Amino acid sequence: MKITDLKCAIIGNYPVVRITTDAGIDGFGQAESYKPYLKPFVLFYKDLIVGEDPTDVERVMLNIRRMGSFKPWGAAVSAIEMALWDIAGKAAGIPVYKLLGGKIRDKVLVYNGAIRKPMKGSSPQDYAENTAWMLEAKEKFKIVKQGIGYHSGMPQNVPNFSYGEVHTKGRSANRGPLTEKGLKHVVACVEAMKEVVGDAVGLALDCGPGWTIPDAIRLARAVEGLNVMWLEDLLTGDYTPYVMADQYREVTRSTSTPIHTGEQIFLRQHFKELFEKQAVNIIGPDPADVGGIAELKWIAEYADLHGILMAPHGTGDGLIGLAALVQVSATLPRSYIAFEYPVAQNGWWYDIIEGLPDPIVVDSFIEVWDRPGLGVTFNVKEAKKHLSDGEGDFFD
């Protein structure tokens, strides 16, 4: 079997990858909805993979892997990798999880970082009300995640929140020390949310990036008695092209509150220092950014050797990304906690993707399905209605 073409279409803001073969088997991958600009980056790799055997996934990936980079640029490589596994599973007539070593769980736990409504403001009462709304979701999530600090509207909405100028442009542009008032405000909001969730639902906190080491330690120590699930991306994180393991290690060693990072990191090599220095307690790579699903599996196993837990990121990965997360999470070691459940940006996605269970999530779990490949496919007739101009041949 040989790859005959690599295509990319922007469907409802999601870059969708299609790889075709001379055996009539195709495979699909997907990047986050936040990255509609990625199409030319995907197509850049076409000449490097056409003619290769798609079932030799690692050989194909060796052709392209080193030309990706930290989020967002590794997303193109990651989406291609998903599509290769989809083909390999279809060709073998088995689900992808079988090709990754087999499943160790029949259902995977997911957490809610995506089913939310806009915050009214940034007060403790606003956080309490918003969190209470999240708990009412029909999926009955066992863990919910909220943004605080530099991963929220607090810098703009709370007067005298931090020292220095507040930036409103760019990805996670704000960084620097908090005022005493700002730190107390963050802690008050966490306490308000914890009062809502009690001890029945875990509360995870997406914090940055942008915190200084002293403020990160102060926050982590201040919430130790609240037993939050984790503090995510305090120092580096979303769209930060470096890791800073020594700095994370200083924070992690100073508190019993679990410290988490990793959604922006590309490839196993950039996790090595985090693991070997015991710099964090939990990692959250995204299969749509880290280099793909097998890359995530490798990283999870190496993390487990170092006693580090796994909670994959995935909020913007779409429904093909959801299928990839289910397949790989079924195979991860018991250090796995839960993955961040993606929801489609547009409701019509649930009409153009076939193969997902209905309902998808029951009591915070998704049953692992056994269909070949990633186990989902397009309703081509319906999907064609949502192709952009000039992409009408994507499914041909």
Give Cα separations from 326 to 235, 318, 361, 363, 366 (angstroms).
Answer: 29, 12, 11, 16, 8
Q: 250-292 pLDDT, tens per residue?
A: 999 999 999 999 999 999 999 999 999 999 999 999 999 999 9
Tell which residue, 235, 143, 154, 146, has the closest CA to residue 190: 146
Give Cα separations from 384 to 6, 80, 242 (angstroms).
Answer: 18, 21, 39
User: What's the pLDDT at 233?
Assistant: 98
Q: What is the maximum span of the chain, computed from C-alpha positions, in angstroms?
A: 64
Quickly name the fold that domain 99-378 has. Answer: TIM Barrel (3.20.20)
pLDDT greater than 80 at residue 170: no
pLDDT averaged over every residue in the chain: 97
Give Cα separations from 55 to 26, 86, 376 (angstroms).
Answer: 11, 9, 18
Tell which residue, 35, 63, 34, has the closest CA to residue 51: 63
Tell which residue, 257, 277, 164, 175, has the closest CA to residue 217: 257
Reported residue count of the chain is 396
- Cα atoms found within 13 Å of the Cα of residue 388, Cβ hemisphere only: 11
3-state helix/strand/coil string of 128-176: HHHHHHHHCCCCCCCEEEEECHHHCCHHHHCCCCECCCCCCCCCCCCCC
pLDDT greater than 80 at residue 219: yes
User: What's the pLDDT at 172?
Assistant: 61
User: What's the pLDDT at 225?
Assistant: 97
CB 141 within 8 A of CB 200: no
User: What's the pLDDT at 165?
Assistant: 86
How much is the average pLDDT of 207-216?
97
How much is the average pLDDT of 148-171?
90
The pLDDT confidence band at residue 169, using thresholds 50, 70 and 90, is confident
CATH for 3-93+379-386 is 3.30.390.10
How much is the average pLDDT of 341-366?
97
CB 182 within 8 A of CB 159: no
Q: Where are the domains of the chain?
A: 3-93+379-386, 99-378
The pLDDT confidence band at residue 154, using thresholds 50, 70 and 90, is very high
Selected residue with higher pLDDT from 188 and 172: 188
